[in-house]
Amino acid sequence: SILDGRFRLPLGLMALVSADVHRFPQLRYGCYAHSTGAKWHLQLGRSAGRHGEVTVRYALRHQQRNVPGTSGKVIENTFRHQLQGQYRFTNEPWRFTTRVIFSWFNAEESDNQQGWLVSQEVRYGQGRWQAAMQATWHDINGYYARIYLSESTLQYAFSMPMLQGRGFRTSAVVRYDVSEWLNISVKYALIARPGADSIGSDNAATPGPIRQTWHIQLRWKF
pLDDT band at 201 (very low <50, low <70, confident <90, very high): confident
Mean pLDDT score of the chain: 92
Dihedral angle sign, alpha carbons of residues 143, 147, 150, 156: positive
Pairing type for strands 52-66 and 35-48 reads: antiparallel
- 176-186 exposure pattern, b = at least 16 Cβ within 10 A, e = fewer: eeeeeeebebe
DSSP label of 60: E
Q: What is the DSSP string of 183-213?
A: EEEEEEEEEE-TT-SEES-GGG-EESSEEEE
Predicted confidence at residue 199, as pLDDT, reads 84
Amino acid at 95: R
Cβ-Cβ contacts under 8 Å for 10 (sequence gap 6 or more): none
Beta bridge partners of 175: 130, 185
Across the range 120-146, mean pLDDT stands at: 95
Across the range 139-154, mean pLDDT stands at: 93
pLDDT band at 1 (very low <50, low <70, confident <90, very high): low
